């Protein structure tokens, strides 16, 4: 009987609905032929924790029909792969990442596939602030029907900007009813503790649908971490030490160990394995991989390899990237292991200690063989709603970045001060206006920083000061500013700030570095103002060129673009800026530029 | 915003919908007072696998608000329990049992509660055959709003009788939409392999609702076990040796280790722990506990204690009865561990090796203290649909149990032969009619066996022969015949067979032993013809008296009533009887009484 699609709310149910159990049973019983058989394999069994020698796997369509002792009198399979003693592991799962990381799905996927990753759960927080629901749906559409499974979380929509903070519960409910949405994405703990009422209704809507609440509790501990967990949050990918990981495990949270371009925490957390009787609630995630790292390091493969290098047994390391995340998301009946009735997502590697895919099978199809990605990607149309998302009220001028004071008295200014590449704090700096205007001062490393709403809705912008950004000249801007619909710009020169922002508007989004009226480097991001359609190597070169230009202008950071785009973020302490002004994340409160 | 109740389909979602996260967070932060605090406890942390010394737990309403380092400046709690170094474990979960085991919920619960069991998942297969949906809903109603959580699986409805075999998918869909229904109950593997089309539509309806399919694969192995697993089945409670358990684990099934009145498999399976890197997919279950065992041994407490005695570390033993089953059923966000946001289901025991509850807390309320069960049970009305379920077309007479043949030639009869207390096989016995009638023969231990539909619908009955049942006189009958709506009766004397069946009809259900026109023992079961409302000790005495009478009549079995009621069952090999006649479970086919 055919049922309405809306009947199905869960990813596991949607997958199971496509599973023809009758046929799989016939194949297992040797009454129908398998499409594919793998023989002579050492099979990593994540359920029993064993490595099974002389393993056999029979596949029909997208699914595993039988493993172990296959029926002797079966018809010959469509194709037989002799693993010749090599090892087979389940397809890898990245349970927490950000796929809206400058590149498109089409450009990204070959790297993930080559690495043996067959299921990815991505945040969607980057898209919603700039395009709302329509753009988010287009982004979700770009995830479907690809050679590997791409699932998502709904955006928690925590922002320091009122324009992009929060989501109507009715909208969220629509999203979390979708089977491709596994839950609500990371909700920063400070926001939840500061304004629980604003968030708990959406938590409740998600939990009523039996879906998960992903967490982000960087730095929380003790009573406040308990309070965060009590809200129903079920994971955290932010611990950076073994102690932090242990505290989160004890509070019932799944601990996602992050090893990606934002941070690499595996080595520092690895010591936890000596304390744990089992590692079932540890999950390996990337939390996002940059174009450069995708090309030079890869995606999930190096993460699992590093877990082994850090001392985990291969089976445990594989579990952390397969069964454990599948269990966390309620997907263990369909993915995460090699057993009858599971999706035929398999990776053949030389031996259990060497996570180097010789072959990758996704949904029963060989997608990587002899080092070549063979699957055809679905090309997305990226409809109109994904484009032309950068809307300024008018061209910016140098005067738009002027900061005026009331007269020429010396004033105390709240300055964003870089403490690390990402962490800032509020410094108080005495400044002397000149003609009623506060100027940047490269000798004291005090630059202008501005956030400009680029949604065409509010037309707002705010301008402040930043210390420690290092530019001696020019300006850097980007339309992919975190948790906002802003272009964020830092500059030593107001005219250059206007220049790079205007250039971004003409590009329809991107990152631009300029100085003395010249464009030094630019990374066009015409999709959502966040993503580039360019091939990954081209994009990586553009990003590298941007960062090189930034460094030449004086930015002292490992990844100046990352430092720039996080200035609007709602999660990284302490002082942040949006189009409405400065916000202290510790309290969630707006702070005026001038100290009284 | 208030939502329709039907919005919620999952037990975890229904529980979370009652959780006031705002208040729990306030308690964790020390801004509101806890209702209950436990201090100085050794806390078994099932998530990290540790035992945490000096543990503290803050409880608000039904929920745990905080654990570990509580906020120092918090207001005093309503009650503080000083555990004085004793151990706290999560409330125990029985993930697979049969609560329709002669007793009512009200009589059963004090035993489960005293044993520290706070969540029970029961089959409902006993009820549906005799009363259909209406009675099943009444039974489900008897499970709600009790001091501990009672959840259920929908009946898989596999029967050898066409009348009680199967359930309309529309009915099943109604059931599995209910949040108190976790999935589809055990589906016997032989039935699935014999008639997949009859069952897979209901499997699909269950999986579309993101619920589980419980399994029953006694004796299956190799290709056939793979085929069973490929159907989407996710558990099995039938392995009786470590090898069988290992094979099921490898195929992705959760292995439920049974330790109850039907069988005790823990000791034989325990050796598996030497092979497993972790035991996350092992679950301890009772599969049903008899009144006598409830009184003399207890419920889940002795199961966990025995797991420790068999060599499991206490934390692993506790996980197998808490986190593991909670994870299997998608309940781990609300039960199965001691963490913020979980139901406050806690058991205080002397030390990790001694599973003897000093105190039991369920949903934040102390339900057992100083050995006394303090909670008030909800008394069920058991409406009309639960009563008068035994309907015979008319009074039975001795002649109704006559087996006539076509003339006086010797014939070969298919006789049910007892191989063990529960297993039968088809024996072929030459019999000589006398006046066209085949008679039982106590000297050869060949008795009559009959199954009589007592639903008032079909009016059917069948009569056959059984060898090895041992009765020298009289008859035994019971209306709680497995997988059917039958009264099953075995007798040495046709008049006594009629007598005991008629007596059951007058009682509205039950078990009756009689001989030479006298009733020797009887167990009235006026609810559904299956359950007695009597206090557990009274019921246990009645059952013991029945079995004593059966033994005195010659029945050689450990539990003659159990042997009797399983004669109609659809799972235990090989030859079974229902009101339509004999059925060979190996093939699923009906067999005529006489061999051609």
- The answer to whether the beta carbons of residues B449 and B488 sit under 8 Å apart is yes
- State residue B297's pLDDT score: 98
**Nearest Cβ partner for B315 among A212, A231, A277:** A277
User: Would you say B232 and B207 are in contact if contact means Cβ atoms under 8 Å apart?
Assistant: yes
- In which band, very low, low, confident or very high, does the pLDDT at B31 lie, cut at 50, 70 and 90? very high
Backbone φ and ψ of A549, nearest 5°: -60, -40
CA–CA distance, A568 with A527 (Å, rounded to integer): 20
Residue among A241, A181, A252 at smallest CA distance from A215: A252
Within an 8 Å CB–CB cutoff, is residue B327 touching chain A? yes
Q: Please give the pLDDT value at position A277.
A: 79
DSSP B510: E
Q: Is B472 left (phi over 0), alpha (psi -120 to 50) or beta?
A: alpha
A594 shares contact with chain B (CB less than 8 Å): no
Question: How close A210 comes to chain B (CA, Å)?
Answer: 5
Name the packing angle between helices B222-230 and A21-28 (round to 10°): 170
- Which of B223, B334, B364 would best serve as a mutation to test chain A binding (most A beta carbons within 10 A)? B223
| d(CA A57, nearest CA chain B) in Å | 11
String of b and e for B160-199 (b: at least 16 CB within 10 Å)?
bbebbbbbeeebbbebbbbbbbbbbbbbbbbbbbbebeeb
Report which of A213, A223, A253 is spatially closest to residue B67, judged by C-alpha positions. A223
Number of C-beta neighbours around residue B412 at 10 A: 12
Q: Grade residue B6 by pLDDT with cuts at 50, 70 and 90.
A: low
Q: At A227, is the secondary structure helix, strand, or coil?
A: helix
Instruction: For chain A, positions 409-448, list CB contacts with chain B under 8 A.
Output: none
pLDDT of A2 > 60? The answer is no
Query: Which residue's structure tokens are 């206090």?
Result: B535
Give the three-state DSSP class for A224. Answer: helix
Is B412 in a helix, a strand, or coil?
Answer: strand
CA distance B270 to B284: 11
Q: Is the pLDDT of residue A1 over 50?
A: no
Identify the DSSP state of A17. Answer: H
Q: Closest to B333 (Cβ–Cβ): which among A47, A52, A234?
A: A234
What pLDDT, in 10s, does the model give residues A478-519?
A: 999 999 999 999 999 999 999 999 999 999 999 999 999 999
Beta carbons of A252 and B207 less than 8 Å apart = no
Q: What is the dihedral of CA B497, B501, B504, B505, to 10 degrees?
A: -160
In this model, does residue B492 exceed pLDDT 50?
yes
Q: What whole-number percentage of chain B has pLDDT above 90?
A: 96
Question: CB of A22 within 8 Å of any CB in chain B?
Answer: yes
Q: List chain B residues with CB under 8 Å of A222.
A: 68-69, 71
Answer whether residue B4 shows pLDDT above 80: no
Q: Who's near A114: CB < 8 A, 6+ residues apart?
A: A298, A299, A357, A360, A368, A371, A373
> Is residue A138 within 8 Å of A414, Cβ to Cβ?
no
Average pLDDT of chain B?
A: 96
Per-residue pLDDT for B2 more than 60? no
Which residues on B lie below 8 Å from A28 (Cβ)? 223-224, 226-227, 230
Count H helices and E strands in chain A, helices first: 17, 31
Q: Which residue of B has its CA nearest to A207?
A: B13
CA B526: distance to chain centroid?
19
Tokens of B370: 């100083």
Q: Is A17 on the interface with B (CB under 8 A)?
A: yes
H-helix or E-strand spanning residue A577: strand A575-578
DSSP SS3 for A361: strand
Average pLDDT (A368-395) is 93
* Spatial distance between the Cα atoms of A207 and A202, rounded to a whole number of angstroms: 9
A-chain residues within 8 Å CB-CB of B13? 207-210
B49 touches chain A (CB under 8 A): yes
Measured from the Cβ of residue A153, the count of other Cβ atoms closer than 10 Å reads: 25
Phi-psi region of A526 (alpha: psi -120 to 50; beta: other; left: phi over 0): alpha
Q: Give, for B114, the enclosing helix (H) or strand (E).
A: helix B105-114
**Residue closest to A546 by CA, chosen among A218, A252, A292:** A292
Instruction: State pLDDT tens for residues A287-334.
Output: 999 999 999 999 999 999 999 999 999 999 999 999 999 999 999 999
Tokens standing for residue A125: 């927080």
Among A29, A200, A339, whose Cβ lies nearest the Cβ of B223? A29
Q: Which of residues 260-279 of A touch B (CB under 8 A)?
A: 275-279
Chain B: residue nearest A63 by CA? B230
Eight-class DSSP state of A568: G
Tell me what percent of the residues of chain B surpass a pLDDT of 70.
Answer: 99
With cut-offs at 50, 70 and 90, classify the pLDDT of residue A5. Answer: very low
Chain B (84-123) residues lying within 8 Å, Cβ to Cβ, of chain A: none
pLDDT reading at B361 higher than 70: yes
Distances (CA, A) of B134 to B387, B389, B479: 12, 12, 19
Each residue's pLDDT tens digit, B523-569: 999 999 999 999 999 999 999 999 999 999 999 999 999 999 999 99
Query: Mean pLDDT across chain A, nearest whole number?
Result: 96
Of the candidates A514, A511, A544, A543, the one whose C-alpha atom is nearest the C-alpha of residue A525 is A511
Contact A67 B251 (CB under 8 A): yes
Residue of B nearest to A45 (CA): B250
Of B208, B232, B277, the CB nearest to A8: B208
The span from the CA of A547 to the CA of A564, in Å, is 11
Indicate yes or no: CB of B229 within 8 angstroms of CB of A327. Answer: no
Residue closest to B509 by CA, chosen among B490, B532, B489, B491: B532
Which residue of chain A is at minimal alpha-carbon distance from B334? Answer: A232
- Tokens representing B98 are 């049969």
Q: Where are the beta strands (DSSP E) in B249-352?
A: 254-258, 282-285, 346-349
CA-nearest of A7, A249, A224 to B176 is A7
Please tell me if residue B180 touches chain A, with a CB cutoff of 8 Å.
no
Q: How confident is the model at residue B278 (pLDDT cuts 50, 70, 90)?
A: confident
For A39, residues 6+ apart whose C-beta sits below 8 A from its C-beta are A56, A80, A81, A82, A83
Interacting residues of A441 by C-beta distance below 8 A, sequence separation 6+: none
pLDDT tens per residue, range B163-177: 999 999 999 999 999
Which of B25, B197, B316 has the CB atom closest to A231's CB atom?
A: B25
A10 part of contact set with chain B, CB < 8 Å: yes
Q: For residue B387, is it left (φ>0), alpha (ψ between -120 and 50) or beta?
A: beta
Per-residue pLDDT of A135-188, as tens digits, reads: 999 999 999 999 999 999 999 999 999 999 999 999 999 999 999 999 999 999
Q: How far is CA A85 from CA A53, A55, A301, A368, in A?
A: 8, 9, 20, 19
Closest by alpha carbon to B36, among B54, B17, B57?
Answer: B57
SS (H, E, C) A67-105: ECCCCCCCCCCCEEEECCCCEEEECEEEEEEECCCCECH
Q: What is the pLDDT of residues B227-277, one digit of tens each?
A: 999 999 999 999 999 999 999 999 999 999 999 999 999 999 999 999 887
pLDDT tens per residue across span B117-129? 999 999 999 999 9
Nearest residue on chain A to B11, judged by CA atoms? A210
B232: left (phi over 0), alpha (psi -120 to 50) or beta: left
B196: its two tokens: 């997949």
pLDDT level of residue B5 (50, 70, 90 thresholds)? very low
Residues within 8 A of B (CB atoms), A 192-251 only: 192-193, 196-197, 200-201, 203-204, 207-210, 212, 221-224, 226-234, 246-247, 249-251
Cβ separation of A65 and B232 shorter than 8 Å?
no
Which of A230, A277, A332 is the best mutation test for B, with the most CBs of B within 10 A? A230
B183 to chain A, closest Cα gap in Å: 13
Token reading at B128: 């549906």
Whether A215 contacts A189, CB under 8 Å: yes
Chain A residue numbers touching B231 (CB-CB < 8 A)? 21, 24-25, 341
**Chain B environment of A183 (Cβ under 8 Å):** none
Write the CA distances from A146 to A85, A368, A376, A380, integer angstroms.
30, 14, 8, 10
B3 — pLDDT class (breaks 50, 70, 90): very low
Q: Is B16 on the interface with A (CB under 8 A)?
A: yes
Report chain A residues whose CB lies below 8 A from the CB of B10: 210
- Give the distance from residue B108's alpha carbon to the nearest chain A alpha carbon, in angstroms: 31
Of B223, B221, B231, nearest in space to B197 by CA: B231
Is pLDDT at B1 greater than 80 in this prediction? no
**CA A519 to the chain's CA centroid:** 30
Give the closest residue to A254 by CA, choosing from A342, A154, A330, A197.
A330
Please answer yes or no on whether A230 and B48 come within 8 Å at the CB atom: no
Residue in chain B lying closest to A1 (CA) = B201
Q: What is the bridge-based pairing of β-strands B50-60 and B359-362?
A: unpaired
Which tens digit of pLDDT belongs to each residue from B180-197?
Answer: 999 999 999 999 999 999
Residue A471 contacts B, CB cutoff 8 Å = no
Count of beta carbons in the 10 Å neighbourhood of residue B448: 25
Nearest-by-CA chain B residue for A27: B227
**Residue whose C-alpha is closest to residue B447's, from B493, B411, B414, B409:** B493
**CA–CA separation, B281 vs A205, rounded Å?**
30
Q: Using CA of residue B488, residue B490, residue B496, residue B498, what is the dihedral sign?
A: positive
Alpha carbon A446 to its chain centroid, in Å, reads 32
């Amino acid at each position: 009987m055919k049922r309405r699609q809306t009947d199905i709310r869960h990813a596991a149910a949607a997958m199971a609905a496509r599973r023809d159990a009758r046929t799989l049973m016939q194949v297992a019983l040797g009454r129908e032929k398998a499409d594919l058989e793998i023989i002579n394999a050492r099979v990593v069994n994540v359920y029993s924790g064993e490595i099974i020698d002389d393993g056999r796997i029979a596949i029909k369509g997208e699914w595993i029909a039988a493993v172990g002792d296959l029926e002797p009198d079966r018809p010959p399979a469509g194709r037989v792969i002799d693993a010749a003693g090599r090892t087979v592991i389940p397809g890898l799962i990245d349970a927490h990442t950000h796929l809206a990381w400058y590149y498109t799905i089409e450009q990204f996927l070959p790297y993930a596939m080559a690495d043996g990753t067959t299921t990815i759960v991505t945040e969607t927080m980057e898209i919603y602030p700039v395009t709302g629901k329509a753009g988010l749906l287009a982004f979700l559409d770009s995830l479907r029907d690809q050679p590997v499974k791409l699932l998502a979380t709904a955006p928690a929509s925590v922002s320091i900007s009122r324009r992009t903070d929060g989501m109507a519960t009715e909208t969220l409910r629509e999203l979390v009813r979708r089977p491709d949405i596994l839950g609500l994405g990371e909700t920063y703990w400070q926001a939840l503790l500061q304004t629980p009422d604003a968030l708990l209704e959406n938590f409740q809507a998600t939990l009523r649908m039996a879906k998960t609440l992903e967490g982000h509790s960087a730095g929380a501990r003790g009573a406040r971490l308990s309070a965060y967990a009590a809200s129903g949050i079920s994971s955290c990918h932010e611990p950076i030490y073994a102690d932090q990981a242990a505290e989160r495990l004890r509070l019932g949270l799944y601990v996602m160990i992050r090893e990606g371009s934002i941070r690499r925490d595996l080595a520092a957390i690895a010591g936890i394995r000596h304390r744990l009787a089992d590692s079932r609630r540890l999950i390996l995630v990337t939390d996002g991989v940059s174009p450069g790292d995708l090309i030079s390091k890869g995606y999930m493969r190096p993460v699992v390899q590093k877990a082994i290098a850090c001392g985990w047994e291969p089976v445990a390391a594989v579990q952390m990237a397969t069964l454990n995340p599948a269990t966390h998301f309620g997907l263990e009946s369909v993915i995460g292991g090699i057993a009858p009735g599971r999706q035929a997502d398999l990776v053949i590697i030389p031996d259990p200690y060497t996570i180097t895919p010789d072959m990758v099978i996704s949904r029963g199809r060989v997608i990587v063989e002899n080092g070549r990605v063979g699957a055809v990607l679905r090309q997305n149309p990226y409809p109109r709603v994904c484009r032309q998302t950068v809307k300024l009220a008018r061209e910016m001028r140098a005067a738009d970045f002027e900061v005026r004071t009331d007269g020429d008295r010396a004033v105390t200014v709240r300055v964003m001060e870089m403490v690390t590449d990402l962490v800032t704090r509020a410094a108080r700096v005495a400044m002397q206006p000149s003609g009623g205007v506060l100027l940047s001062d490269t000798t004291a490393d005090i630059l202008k920083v501005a956030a400009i709403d680029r949604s065409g809705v509010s037309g707002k912008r705010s301008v402040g000061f930043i210390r420690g950004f290092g530019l001696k000249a020019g300006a850097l801007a980007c339309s992919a500013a975190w948790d906002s619909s802003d272009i964020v710009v830092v500059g030593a020169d107001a005219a250059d700030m206007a220049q790079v922002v205007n250039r971004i508007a003409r590009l329809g989004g991107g990152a631009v570095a300029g100085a003395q009226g010249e464009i030094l480097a630019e990374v066009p991001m015409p999709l959502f103002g966040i993503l580039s359609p360019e091939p990954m190597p081209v994009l990586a070169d553009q990003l590298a060129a941007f960062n090189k230009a930034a460094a030449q202008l004086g930015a002292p950071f490992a990844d100046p673009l990352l430092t720039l785009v996080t200035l609007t973020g709602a999660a990284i302490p302490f002082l942040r800026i949006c189009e409405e002004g400065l916000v202290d994340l510790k309290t969630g409160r707006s702070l005026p530029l001038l100290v009284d």
